Structure 1
Amino acid sequence: MTANEIRDSFVKFFESKGHLIVPSAPMVIKDDPTLMFTNAGMNQFKDIILGNRPATSKRCTDSQKCLRVSGKHNDLEEVGHDTYHHTMFEMLGNWSFGDYFKKEAIEWAWEYLVDVLKIDKSNLYATVFEGSPEEGLERDNEAASYWEKFLPADHIINGNKHDNFWEMGATGPCGPCSEIHIDLRPEEEKAKVPGRELVNKDNPLVIEIWNLVFMQYNRKADQTLEPLPAKVIDTGMGFERLCAVMQGKRSNYDTDVFQPIIKVIGDLSDCRYGEDAKKDVAMRVVADHLRTIAFSIADGQLPGNAKAGYVIRRILRRAVRYAYTFLGQKEAFMYKLLPVLVQEMGKSYPELEAQKVLISKVMKEEEDSFLRTLETGIRLLDRVMAETRASGKTVIDGVEAFTLFDTYGFPLDLTELICRENGMTVDEETFHAEMQKQKERARNAAAVETGDWVVVKEGETEFKGWDYTEHECHILRYRKVTQKKQTFYQIVLDYTPFYAEMGGQVGDRGVLCSEHETIEIVDTKRENNLPVHIAKTLPEHPEADFMACVDTDLRAASEANHTCTHLLDQALRTVLGEHVEQKGSLVTPEYLRFDFSHFQKVTDEQLREVE
């Protein structure tokens, strides 16, 4: 079976069992602060599992694209060096929200693997939760009893809490799970050591292919467990591993998930896969990372300098570096692989076809940019390594590594990788010390000396600016502030019509008047959600009755410019494409500034069109 046939057969099988086939959620997550990327099939169903929204169907099935590059699940540096780590992978899953439970989940998993896919049942093993006396949890005898219908006793293995008890987080839904493992070793090896002794022991040929999670408890804040009102089945099967099993391959990269891409990499770089170990690693890295980058861009995440964007940029740069060093690619070439990826995966994931022009442009622009940096950086690093060797050392100075990072955009892990290939290491401690110094320099530039609050009157601030531009008020408290050798005063009022800086729009300016004096308010800031008025001088009579008056001409100009940011956002999307995202803005009475993400320099013609 081809990869596409396997994926299709899985969802069709569960559709025949009354499951709704749902599309894969985007790999890039925009509305969950706890996650940057979808890293498991259950992410898109989290709100249903937590009871925050109803399920559209009590039974669902899908193939979910996932990304794991950090934490306990994966280490980016392993990808390409072995045959089974990936950054992006697909997770096949079936779900029940308060409908069927362990019996059906186990019976259907067996039916699919043995009756549909014709996998030799003598090579299959199942693990069940062994129990936890300190939590008052017994062995999962229920799951074991269902497995006993299909497997001999020595193929059902007890698993500990780490392997066989799944938790969504420190609190929330959790429960025992049952993993299905397969022994892919040759017969003579099986005769020497039974597979049961190698389950969960990191043997590359005795591997987990499917995990059936039985969510039946809710973990409370005090760590006690209570039964869930609606039990959930959540299963996940590694698609790439299943393809290797079905196609009789020892490596995921030998399946038709990756081979068409690897063949084109070989054609473009004049290399043949399987002839040179270092080139093989580079080809695997490029094939794996190509998928990750293309799908991320298709899902709306452009490479960037922060958070999710930085993860994608780092993965792309890792692939470019391997292609440059080991495959002789001195010019952008990964974007040329996009047609084969669209051809292989576009039918199952139509967003690839829909976004292929954007993906191609972004990748080429990023590759060109990094190759310019790479050339210079590698020359400098070669010189540093030669000088270090000449002085009889094998550890690169952390200051040099920091210069490469700070000036040439060379991440530490890239410098370490090149050093490792040359039998050298980097003084990480000094690198991090330099990083700390830079942060402190930035902090000192923004350092503020703040005096204590002087309380004039007790009370809370009430904002009146929606309805009034002038309002009677009293000073509640004030304090003296010094920054960059300038002194000013922060004043808090009981009633204020002044809009405090927020959403990119600068704060109102105006005056505070009493019968004795007039004080100019030069800005209004927000501190801990409290409007704070900035003045260069302090009233001589802080306890007097004041009138707070906003400069209405300035506010009207700010309002107009604020409206313009929304118009500009729309114009940019119309001219440059829907991928444009606002990354910040500044709105003043005089002008507006609008920051946005785009993969290349905007041309003069495009700017005129946007205007």
Structure 2
Amino acid sequence: DYFKQEAIEWAWELLTQEFGLQEDRLYVTIFEGDSWDNLNEDTEAYQYWATIVPKDRILKYGKDENFWEMGDTGPCGPCSEIHMDLRGDEDRKQKPGAELVNEDHPEVIEIWNLFFIEFNRYADGNLESLPDKHVDTGMGLERLTAIMQDKPSNYDTDVFQPLIRFLEEAFKVKYHENVTTDIAIAVIADHARAISFTIADGQLPSNNGAGYVIRRILRRGVRYGYQYLDAKEPFIYQLIEVLADQFNEVFPEIQEQKDFVGKVIKEEEQTFLKTLDTGTKLFNKKLKTMEGQTLPGKFAFELYDTYGFPIDLTRLMAEEEGLEVDEKEFTQELQKQKERSKQAAATEASDWQIINPDSQSRFIGYDETTAKVHITRYRQVKTKKKTQYHLAFNQTPFYAESGGQVGDTGYIWNEDEKIRILDTFKENKLIIHLAEKLPQNLEASFQAQINENKRVLTTNNHTATHLMHAALKEVLGNHVDQKGSLVNENHLRFDFAHFAKV
């Protein structure tokens, strides 16, 4: 029930009246329009701002600065930003702040963004006006804190100072005395805060997805401590106590889970410090023998592939030595590895040969262990060692591999022949049976029979994985999530996320 006028007025009121920011230091921006998208200037926003600030403080910018989109498609629209000039009076007299907005000046910064969601972009690039308009708004908490506390940077505010004071004491250094150590301290404080809240929210470090982002952030903090503060033992986990006390009232979860979060971080630190020590020694050894300003991509790949040393860290360390990584050679080595893996598992499949185009594959194995079937399609599959066949039936009692449980095996037979089914799996919605040979008569009917003993044993082990999951949650904690499993008639393997050895 509100849109541009109210959002603009409320933003200005909060910043100037509630927070007390100086009006003559503030500039606002609006969208100037775009001919490619046939979009006009956001005159509505301009008119509302013109009733509040002098027109020479209303600046117009194009799509790069003042049109926000979620992605290639979806809701989008113009935005209006509020910037603040933090320079001293003499600097402001020499050059107007309007000339420094959106110019990456460290003292002329954006502090607020009003995003007016009024269009929807389709896949063909066209825009359609939305029937309902919305406002999304964002403000830089740390930036605003620095302004209100009259501090030169975010790290000088009370948001970061407790962490920085702890690091000063731990490593016997002083913040603001050495640029290199200042950067290291700031990175560690920032990263420690980010990963602690995220872990407390339930996201553990891992090798994929969001977990990999957390692991990379943590490892970057560890590396800065290792390289610039001579931290050879885990230390970031010790900051959790500081964070827990500092944010107890606004985020009590960090206090409640501080022991758990600390254990997770310490375990990650110990693991990475070993990797870091090995990789750094190899890197420094290479520097003594190499010529030129380019670090061989083959060496960077060896660190990455053999020792688990992240390529982004190799790039950063090379840059700090005035070197650059041979990215082309690194990419070539990475591609070679992918090709080797692909060839090792290479399977050449022919096109499907259709026998009955109208027949659907139907699973009846929950109720039946044997059934009369006929083949609806087949194809030949070649690997390096053998030739086998994929068969699809009109109906099947064979369970296809799913949920970590391996597929059924068994036989199909008739009065003329008997053929072993070696495995069963799904491809899209099609249930495929791996056969050791192709039937002589593809249009004949067959009796399908699963290996019942194997099915029972496998099912029992599958049930055991669920019991194991429940037990792990009870013993280790609710953070334990299943990450995969392998269940067959002989054993089960249950993969789960935990921060330490069990």
**TM-score interval (norm. to shorter):** over 0.9
Q: Distance in 2 between matches of 1:199 and 1:212?
A: 16
Deviation at 1:111, TM superposition (A): 1.1
In the other structure, the counterpart of 1:261 is: 163
Counterpart in the other structure of 2:421: 521
Deviation digits for residues 149-201 of structure 1, max 9, x if unmatched? 22111111112122112222222222211101111011111111111111111
Give the corresponding residue for 2:114: 212
Q: After the TM superposition, which of the residue ranges 512-521 and 565-574 deviates more from structure 2?
A: 512-521
Structure 1: gaps (5+ residues): 1-98, 603-611
Equivalent in 376, 382, 386 of residue 476 of structure 1: 376
| CA deviation map 1:59-86 (0-9, x unaligned) | xxxxxxxxxxxxxxxxxxxxxxxxxxxx
In 2: Cα distance, 1:201 partner to 1:276 partner: 27
- Please name the residue that 1:284 is paired with: 186
Matched with 1:189 is: 91
Q: Report 1 or 2 for greater relative contact order, CA contacts < 8 Å, sequence distance ≥ 6.
A: 1
Task: After TM superposition, list the pairs within 5 Å mapping 1:66-465 onto structure 2.
Answer: 99-388=1-290, 392-458=291-357, 459-465=359-365
Q: Distance in 2 between matches of 1:134 and 1:456?
A: 53
Q: SS of the residue aligned with 2:150?
A: coil
Distance 2:32 2:353 in 1: 64
Q: Distance in 2 between matches of 1:257 and 1:568?
A: 42
Question: Deviation string for 1:360-411 (max 9, x for gaps)?
Answer: 00111111111122222211111110111xxx42322222221111222211
Give the superposed CA RMSD. Answer: 1.6
2: CA distance, partners of 1:457 / 1:113:
72
Letter in 2 for 1:440: E
Look up the equivalent residue of 2:317 and give its one-letter code.
Answer: I
Q: In the alignment, residue 246 of structure 2 is paired with which amino acid?
A: E
Deviates more, 1:424-433 or 1:219-228: 219-228
Structure 1 pair 454–216 and aligned structure 2 pair: CA distance change class (3 A): closer
For residue 490 of structure 2, the aligned residue among 580, 586, 590 is 590
Deviation at 1:583, TM superposition (A): 0.9
| Displacement after TM superposition at 1:416 (Å) | 2.1
Tell me the distance in 1 between the aligned counterparts of 2:309 and 2:143: 34
Q: What amino acid sits opposite 1:116 in the alignment?
A: E
The letter of the residue matching 1:227 is S
Distance 1:531 1:366 in 2: 42
In 2, Cα distance between equivalents of 1:253 and 1:441: 48
Query: Alpha carbons of 1:135 and 1:483: their partners in 2 closer, same or farther (altered >3 Å)?
Result: closer
The question of 1:504 aligning with 2:368 is answered: no
Q: Secondary structure at the match of 1:383?
A: helix
| Deviation of 1:104 (Å) | 1.2
Q: How far apart, CA to CA, are the structure 2 residues paired with 1:377 and 1:332?
A: 17
Q: Distance in 2 between matches of 1:222 and 1:399?
A: 42
Cα gap change, 1:297 to 1:103, in 2 (>3 Å): same
1:600 is matched with 500
Q: Displacement, 1:548? A: 1.4
- Residue equivalent to 1:14: none
Q: Which whole-Å CA distance do the structure 2 matches of 1:131 and 1:318 have between them? A: 41
1:97-151 Cα deviation digits (max 9, x unpaired): xx21111111111111111111111111111111234433322222122212221
What code does the residue aligned with 2:135 have? I
3-state SS of paired residue (2:404): coil
Q: Distance in 2 between matches of 1:423 and 1:142?
A: 51
Give the match for residue 59 of structure 1.
none
1:345 aligned partner, one-letter code: F
Q: In 1, distance between residues paired with 2:491 and 2:385?
A: 28
Which residue of 2 is the match for residue 12 of structure 1?
Answer: none
Assess, with a 3 A threshold, how the Cα gap between structure 1 residues 419 and 132 changes in structure 2: closer, same or farther: closer
Shift in Å, 1:452: 4.1
Return the offset for 1:423.
2.4
Structure 2 equivalent of residue 532 of structure 1: 432
Give TM-score scaled by structure 2 length: 0.96
Which secondary structure state, in structure 2, belongs to the residue aligned with residue 135 of structure 1?
coil
The residue that corresponds to 1:541 in the other structure is 441
Cα shift at 1:218: 2.0
Judging changes above 3 Å, is the alpha-carbon distance between structure 1 residues 261 and 586 closer, same or farther for their aligned structure 2 residues? same
CA distance in 1, matches of 2:282, 2:72: 46
DSSP-derived class of the 1:465 partner: coil
**Does the C-alpha gap of structure 1 residues 324 and 562 become closer, same or farther in structure 2, counting only changes over 3 Å?**
same
Q: Secondary structure at the match of 2:92?
A: helix
Other structure's SS at 1:523 match: strand
Mapped partners of 1:574, 1:131: distance in 2? 58
Closer, same or farther in 2 for the Cα pair 1:151/1:580, shift >3 Å?
same
| CA-CA distance at 1:560 after TM superposition | 1.7
> In 2, Cα distance between the equivalents of 1:174 and 1:358?
40
Q: Deviations over 1:471-512 (max 9, x none)?
A: 211112223323240232211111212111111111111221
> Deviation at 1:203?
1.0
Counterpart of 1:301 in 2: which secondary structure? coil
TM-score, normalisation: structure 1? 0.79
Structure 2 CA distance for aligned equivalents of residues 489 and 133 of structure 1:
58
Provide the rounded CA distance (Å) in 1 between the counterparts of 2:122 and 2:334.
40
1:21-36 superposed matches below 5 A: none
SS of alignment partner, residue 387 of structure 2: strand
Which amino acid in 2 is paired with 1:104?
E
Mean Cα deviation higher: 229-238 or 133-142: 133-142
